[in-house]
Copies of this chain bind each other. A is one copy, B any other.
Amino acid sequence: MLENIKHPTTRNGKATFNLILRAAEMLFLENGYHKTTVADITHKAGVAAGTFYLYFPSKISLYQHLLLDISHTIRKEIASKIKDKTSRRDKEKEGIKAFLEYAIKNPHMYNIIWESFYIDRALFREYYESFSKRYVKGLQAAQAEGEVDDIDLEIVSYVLMGITNFVGLKLILDLGDEPKSVDSVVETIIRILDHGLFQKNA
C-alpha cells in the first residue's frame, strides 16, 4: 500500500527532505491533513513547489512516512530504555515510562497517529495491529517463563496500549485538576498491573 518515497542521498537533499517533513507536521497539527495542500507545505518549508515531488509521490505518501517514522521512533525509544531490564514487569514499567516521556516531548504524535483514523482507516489499523503484534511477542516470552498469567495476550496488548495512550493524553492535555509527574503515574499503573485494582475480599 505504501507508495515509494525517494530518500535523499546528499546532505542538501536530506536537509530539504527534513524541512518538508517538519513543515508538513506543523501544518497537519495546525490545520489538519485534509486542509493542508502540497503547496502549503512547500511554501512553509521555503522550497520550490516542484521539490516536494522529488521525494514524495503524494501528500498521503508523506503522511505515511511520518506515521512510520513515529512508530519506529517510539519503538526504538522504548527498546533502548528496557534493554537492561530482565523481568517483563520491569520492562513494562520502563516501557510505559519511556512512552509517556516521549509523548510529553512530542505531543503532536497523537495528532499524527489518530488522524489516520480519518485519513485512511487502513493506516490506523496497521499502526495498532503492528504494535499489538510486537507486544504479544514480548508477552509470549514472559508467559513461557511463567511470569505472565495464562491469559489472552492479544487482549492484554490492547489493554496496555489503551492504558498508556489514555494516561498519556491526560498528561499531555493536562486533563483534570492537577498536573502529575510521570513517575507517580507509572507507579499507579504498575501497581494495578502487579496487584489488580480490587481488594481480594471477594
A residues apposed to B, CB below 8 Å: 32, 34-35, 87-89, 92, 110-111, 114-115, 117-118, 121, 124-125, 128-129, 132-133, 146-149, 151-152, 154-156, 158-159, 161-167, 169-170, 173, 175-177, 180, 184-185, 188-189, 191-202
Q: How far is the CB of A101 from chain B (nearest CB, A)?
A: 16
Most buried by B among A146, A158, A202: A158
Contacts A147-B198, A176-B132, A198-B194; is A188 near B89 (CB within 8 Å)?
A: no
- Copies of this chain: 2
Across the two chains, which residue of chain B brings its CB closest to A121? Answer: B173
Q: Are A154 and B176 touching (Cβ within 8 A)? A: yes
CA distance A200 to B146 in the complex (A): 10
When the two chains form their complex, are residues A198 and B158 in contact, meaning their CB atoms are under 8 A apart?
no
Q: Are A198 and B114 in contact (CB under 8 A)?
A: no
Min distance, Cβ A149 to any Cβ of chain B, angstroms: 7
Q: Is the CB of A197 within 8 A of B149?
A: yes
Query: What are 9 A-B contacts defined by CB distance under 8 Å?
Result: A92-B198, A125-B175, A147-B199, A151-B191, A159-B163, A159-B189, A162-B162, A163-B163, A193-B196
